[in-house]
Structure 1
Amino acid sequence: MHSVGDMDVLNVLGDNGDMSTPVPTPSREPRVVAPPEDLQEMLNLARLLEDCSAPAMLLGPDGEQIPLPLEVDEVLRQVVSAMGSGASVSVEPIDRQLTTQQAANLLGVSRNTLVRLLDEHELPFERLGASRHRRLRLQDVLAYRERKRIDRRSRLDELTRQASEDGLYDVDAGAYRSALAEARKS
């Protein structure tokens, strides 16, 4: 994830490509763009971008060529990469406000789980006036998701290290299952 000013340059969504009902941004309604059904053109574009070290150029209808700013070139490369692998994408302002349901969808948890996280102060939120409705900043939700990803990776690395130290990688599957069954009994 890279940030350009106040923009979240790439947000790759799940299989259904849905973040619930989007909250409108001042300029226009955000939208999710699905990859084309035939990915060949996207893959050709990805190969072209990989082979170029300089930023891409925009060719206007009158033949005028304008080099893309580095930040826009980076966004283009990320979008093409994500769509080339079959993911839907959405470019959103980083300070966009999300409903609790939208944030839950983005994190892949239930709304009840998200509310519990809010109550436990795991994520900052704002209330709309005197109402019960809470809003979360997209930036905060993405930062939380990244912290959790790093934490999961760290825990997995530790489990792998422990398993390696205990010699569990050198044991055949049958012996491992027997040892696991024995450990569960005790």
Structure 2
Amino acid sequence: MTAPLHLAVIQGSTRDGRLGPTVANWLLTHAAARPELTTDLVDLAETPLPTVFPQLGQAPERAEDRALLAAVSPRLAAADAFVVVTPEYNHSYPASLKNAIDWHHKEWHAKPVGFVAYGGFSAGLRAVEHLRGVFAELHTVTLRDAVGLQGVWGRFDEHGKAVDPSIDAAAKTMLDRLTWWGEALRAARAHKPYEA
């Protein structure tokens, strides 16, 4: 029996009145039903990161910046796989999410990334397409099977449950694929450390 995969769910929206927590908690409910997964919710509104970067290759000078990073970086490093929960803002993803991605490098290497995107007409999928290029640069494997929630405001009831069973089916497919890739890449990293 292998150890469960550790999944970090990154909730990317920091906007007041955001729907991100509802969407993230819905996904976490699906993940919690799978014994092959353990989860950690990294909510970027609750774990803000610095927005001023040090010189390339240098650690932050300010103790408060190091403390903010210490609340997030080890959690990303410990993950075997990621799901990014993101809204679409202006045909892309939030600045808070890009900031969190850019603060890290080796934490992402040789790990799979799934997406749950939401928005209006586009279902957040333009944000996902922008994220794919960013994560490719960070040596991840992004999943083809993303979850896109069109007209997200009507997709969940007052208890945070999906009102359309097809959304639950999409989450299952994405988590199935994520688990496959997570197990394969974890075994590969154990066999031979990944060098970028």
What is the TM-score normalised by the length of structure 2? 0.25
Q: Which has the higher helix share?
A: 1
Larger radius of gyration: 1
